[in-house]
Amino acid sequence: MHRVFLVGPMGAGKTTIGKYLARHLGLAFADTDAEIEHRTGADIPWIFDVEGEAGFRLREAQVVEEMTQMDDIVLATGGGVVIRPENRQALGSRGFVIYLHATVAEQLRRTRRDRKRPLLQQGNREEVLRTLMMTRDPLYREIADHVIDTDGCSPRVVAQRLVVALNADKQGPATLE
């Protein structure tokens, strides 16, 4: 049984790299944000507008509780998934957690034209990303089995390096089996 969970900040490439990684590993791919949208029948900006961030986090926790129990899957999460202790507990104890890291400068470049991430639609985006990174980076590291820097690497290269790291890491195959 294989479970790989991708965590990290907005623009780290969790959704993009997750698809490549799943294909390389021959696993299914899922994304908590896509699942939340599917279940709600509305997109994330709508959920934030109508229910606030609190409503979104409640939906996210429900999806995490269920999806971290699925087998043979690469699961991409949203950047704020680590805020809730119960999410960290579920992710950290049920699968192999990869922290996809990107610097704030790189996150800014990759999310420049984005209109779908409510937290980046107001105020100074760089300031928002910097503050989120400060509070969340220790939480990503707390549950990560492996950390990889994505700056300057294409999604395909990051995914290939992850496959190598998972195979080389003594913890990897054991945890993945």
Ligand X SMILES: Nc1ncnc2c1ncn2[C@@H]1O[C@H](COP(=O)(O)OP(=O)(O)O)[C@@H](O)[C@H]1O
Interface pick for ligand X out of 150, 159, 162, 176 (rule CB under 6 A): 150
If binding is defined by CB under 6 A, does position 12 make contact with ligand X? yes
Interface with ligand X (CB under 6 A), residue total 15
Phi and psi dihedrals of 106, rounded to 5? -70, -40
Only one of the segments 97-105, 115-123, 138-146, 153-161 lies at the binding site for ligand S3P (rule: CB under 6 A); that segment is: 115-123
118 binds, among ligand S3P, ligand X, Mg ion, none (CB under 5 to 8 A by kind): ligand S3P
Cα four-point dihedral sign 120, 68, 30, 137: positive
Between helix 14-25 and helix 155-168 the angle, nearest 10°, is: 50
| Residue 159 token pair | 């995914």
Interface pick for ligand X out of 16, 32, 68, 87 (rule CB under 6 A): 16
- Minimum distance, C-beta of residue 10 to ligand X, in the bound complex (Å): 4
If binding is defined by CB under 6 A, does position 73 make contact with ligand X? no
Q: Which amino acid is at 41?
A: G
User: What is the rounded CA–CA span in Å between residue 137 and residue 104?
Assistant: 12
Q: Where are the alpha helices (DSSP H) in 4-124?
A: 14-25, 32-40, 44-67, 85-94, 104-110
Nearer to ligand S3P, 10 or 67 (CB): 10
If binding is defined by CB under 6 A, does position 10 make contact with ligand X? yes
Interface pick for ligand X out of 3, 11, 36, 139 (rule CB under 6 A): 11
User: What is the rounded CA–CA span in Å between residue 111 and residue 10?
Assistant: 8
Interface pick for ligand X out of 153, 160, 163, 165 (rule CB under 6 A): 153
80 binds, among ligand S3P, ligand X, Mg ion, none (CB under 5 to 8 A by kind): ligand S3P
User: What is the rounded CA–CA span in Å between residue 6 and residue 102?
Assistant: 13
Residues lying near ligand X in the complex (CB under 6 A) are found at 8, 10-16, 76, 110, 150, 153-155, 158
